[in-house]
């Protein structure tokens, strides 16, 4: 049986009151305060964007001169904030068709690739960690394909051997790589975020 947690915690209620689609919005807000991931005018690619909480934060931060593109296997409702709309696509981020769409949306590349992708949790720590690492590996592939030089990548992961093996791979492509434990993460969760900054280029 998976771990039980209180869904309607402080950040859940805060997100509801603030009009965010997900409590996860506060994770990106916290990450952005620490690292300035989302700059005005930036082009941002959000992997696994359902239900849209990270898209909302990204739109707020990059402003109307920026670009926010989201992809998810699930359908995501259209989203507009402050006169700017996110471009949302349904599909597999690893499919050539979806990747062609992403290139067409920003031929110059993206300034940030952000990923809150998570596996369907089983409650078995080593299994969840392994599946989480697979998703980060996919995100890293996308980041290497689509980031501009100097761009940033952030992804959620669960601690484990696979995480330790991924870190050197990520560091090989970025000037800085760190792990972030967030105050906005549920107390019952073991998740952390890998923040990689300064993409060295393909």
Distance in angstroms (rounded) separating the CA atoms of residues 163 and 10: 29
For residue 168, pLDDT over 60 is answered with yes
CA distances from 21 to 8, 9, 41, 77, 110 (A): 13, 15, 23, 10, 24
Distance in angstroms (rounded) separating the CA atoms of residues 189 and 88: 28
pLDDT value, residue 183: 81
Using one digit for the tens of pLDDT, what is the confidence trace for 20-70? 899 899 999 999 999 999 999 999 999 999 999 999 999 999 999 999 999
pLDDT value, residue 136: 96
Q: pLDDT confidence of 4, banded at 50, 70, 90? A: very low
Distance in angstroms (rounded) separating the CA atoms of residues 45 and 139: 10
Q: Which of 7-16, 105-114, 131-140 has the lowest mean pLDDT?
A: 7-16
Higher-pLDDT residue of 14 and 134 is 134
Mean pLDDT of the chain: 90
Q: pLDDT confidence of 125, banded at 50, 70, 90? A: confident
pLDDT value, residue 82: 82
**Of the candidates 148, 144, 141, 134, which has an alpha carbon nearest to the alpha carbon of residue 106?**
148
In terms of residues, how long is the chain?
202
| Interval 142-170 mean pLDDT | 95
Give buried/exposed letters for 170-194 (b at 16+ CB in 10 A, else e): beebbeebeebebebbbeeebbbbb
The domain ranges of the chain are 10-199
**Of the candidates 21, 15, 152, which has an alpha carbon nearest to the alpha carbon of residue 80?**
21
Distance in angstroms (rounded) separating the CA atoms of residues 53 and 58: 9
CATH entry, 10-199, from 3.40.50.150, 3.10.20.90, 3.40.50.1100, 2.40.70.10: 3.40.50.150
Active site residues: 156
């Amino acid at each position: 049986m998976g771990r039980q947690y209180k869904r309607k915690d402080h950040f859940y209620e805060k997100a509801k009151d603030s009009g965010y689609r997900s409590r996860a919005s506060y994770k990106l807000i916290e990450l952005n305060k620490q690292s300035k991931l989302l700059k005005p005018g930036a082009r941002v690619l959000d992997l696994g964007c359902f239900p849209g909480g990270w898209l909302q934060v990204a739109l707020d931060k990059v402003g109307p001169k920026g670009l926010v593109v989201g992809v998810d296997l699930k359908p995501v409702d259209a989203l507009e904030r402050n006169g700017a709309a996110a471009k949302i696509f349904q599909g597999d981020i690893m499919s050539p068709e979806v990747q062609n769409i992403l290139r067409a949306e920003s031929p110059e590349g993206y300034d940030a690739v952000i990923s809150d992708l998570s596996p369907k949790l089983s409650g078995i720590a080593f299994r969840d960690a392994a599946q989480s690492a697979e998703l980060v590996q996919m995100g890293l592939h996308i980041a290497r394909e689509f980031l501009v030089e100097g761009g940033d990548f952030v992804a959620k992961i669960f601690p484990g051997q696979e995480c330790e093996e991924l870190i050197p791979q990520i560091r090989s492509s970025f000037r800085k790589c760190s792990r972030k434990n967030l105050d906005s993460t549920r107390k019952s969760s073991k998740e952390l975020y890998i923040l990689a900054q300064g993409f060295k280029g393909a």
